[in-house]
């Protein structure tokens, strides 16, 4: 009698559990779509509401891009601000290309957001490509200075051992090259292809930058001692 009763009770209980799971899944699916839609619209208030209701800020989209990275790519500054301020957001999550949120802020010229990321302990240095490589590529003096102030490795090496100075020489500005040299970047370093910053400038047909670096190298050489007698 008891066994047969349990059999009839179990089915409604299982049904209730399944309905509960379905409701939770449907709610999460809706939140998922709402989250990434809000990022594209730069709707900070909707993002905040979803986070407050328990949505995971680090959920990636189908391409593996997190909300913060997407917000910085758009750019969606309000969405970025909400996600940076959210204590559970992973500020150092990398995308499939090994890029960090601070790297994206650096290449996009989002100085205020870069400041906030650094203030929240986003990593200024990492293996491979770094935020300083990206700031140098953009020729962004403010961003370069910000990163150096927070101890960015000035001669950081990319996977093929290219430095920020090399990237600035090919893609950046003369002022960016000058700033990096003044702050201590080594123009004599060569990457895996045996290319120095001067050769990067030459390949990019930027004779003004190549000459700038040559003059810097010449002026930084120690003066020869006189062989005469006093």
DSSP 52-105: HTT--TT-B-TTS-BHHHHHHHTT-HHHHHHHHHSTT--TT---TTS--HHHHH
Place of tokens 């909300």: 67
Residue 227 lies in a domain: no
Q: What is the pLDDT of residue 224?
A: 52
Q: Which residue has the higher pLDDT, 21 or 108?
A: 108
Query: Is the pLDDT score of 228 beyond 50?
Result: no
Span 168-174, average pLDDT: 97
Query: Same structural domain for residues 203 and 111?
Result: yes
Structural domain count of the chain:
2
Query: Same structural domain for residues 150 and 70?
Result: no
Query: Same structural domain for residues 56 and 147?
Result: no
Here the CATH number for the domain that contains residue 124 is 1.25.40.20
Q: Which residue has the higher pLDDT, 14 or 98?
A: 98
Span 125-143, average pLDDT: 97
Q: pTM for the whole thing?
A: 0.83
Query: Same structural domain for residues 203 and 116?
Result: yes
Query: Same structural domain for residues 153 and 75?
Result: no
Residue 215 lies in a domain: yes
Span 170-193, average pLDDT: 97
Query: Same structural domain for residues 67 and 109?
Result: no
Give the integer Cα–Cα distance in Å for 114 and 131.
10
CA-nearest of 197, 226, 227 to 214 is 197
C-alpha of 60 from chain center: 16
Digit-coded pLDDT (tens) for 86-126: 999 999 999 999 999 999 999 999 999 999 999 999 999 99
Residue 95 lies in a domain: no
Question: Six-digit token pair at 207?
Answer: 């004779």
pLDDT band (50, 70, 90) for residue 220:
confident
Distances (CA, A) of 104 to 78, 116, 214: 16, 13, 31
Query: Same structural domain for residues 35 and 65?
Result: yes
pLDDT band (50, 70, 90) for residue 3:
low
Q: What is the mean pLDDT of the chain?
A: 88
For the chain, the residue count is 230
Q: What is the pLDDT of residue 227?
A: 43
Domain end position, chosen among 90, 118, 147: 90
Question: Six-digit token pair at 183?
Answer: 């702050």
Q: Among 30-34, 40-44, 47-51, 59-63, which stretch is predicted with the lowest mean pLDDT?
A: 30-34
Query: Is the pLDDT score of 140 beyond 50?
Result: yes
Question: Six-digit token pair at 95?
Answer: 């995308």
Query: Is the pLDDT score of 13 beyond 50?
Result: no
Cβ-based neighbour number of residue 176 at 10 Å: 25
Asked if 81 and 57 touch (Cβ cutoff 8 Å), the reply is no
Query: Same structural domain for residues 111 and 214?
Result: yes
> Domain range holding 133?
100-221
């Amino acid at each position: 009698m008891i066994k047969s009763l349990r059999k009839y009770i179990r089915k409604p209980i299982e049904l209730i559990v399944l309905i509960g799971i379905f409701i939770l899944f449907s709610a999460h699916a809706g939140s998922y779509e709402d989250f990434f839609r809000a990022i594209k619209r730069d709707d900070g208030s909707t993002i905040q509401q979803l986070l407050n209701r328990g949505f995971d800020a680090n959920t990636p989209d189908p391409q593996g891009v997190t909300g913060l990275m997407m917000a910085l790519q758009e750019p969606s500054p309000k969405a970025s601000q909400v996600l940076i301020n959210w204590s559970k957001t992973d500020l150092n999550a990398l995308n499939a290309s090994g890029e960090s949120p601070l790297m994206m802020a650096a290449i996009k010229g989002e100085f205020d957001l870069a400041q906030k990321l650094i203030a929240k302990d986003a990593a200024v240095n990492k293996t491979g490509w770094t935020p300083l490589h990206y700031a140098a590529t953009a020729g962004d003096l403010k961003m370069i200075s910000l990163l150096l102030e927070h101890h960015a490795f000035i001669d950081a090496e990319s996977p093929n051992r290219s430095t920020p100075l090399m990237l600035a020489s090919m893609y950046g500005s003369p002022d960016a090259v000058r700033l990096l040299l003044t702050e201590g970047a080594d123009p004599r370093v060569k990457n895996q292809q045996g290319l120095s910053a001067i050769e990067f400038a030459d390949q990019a047909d930027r004779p003004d930058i190549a000459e700038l670096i040559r003059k810097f190298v010449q002026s930084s050489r120690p003066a020869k001692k006189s062989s005469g007698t006093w």
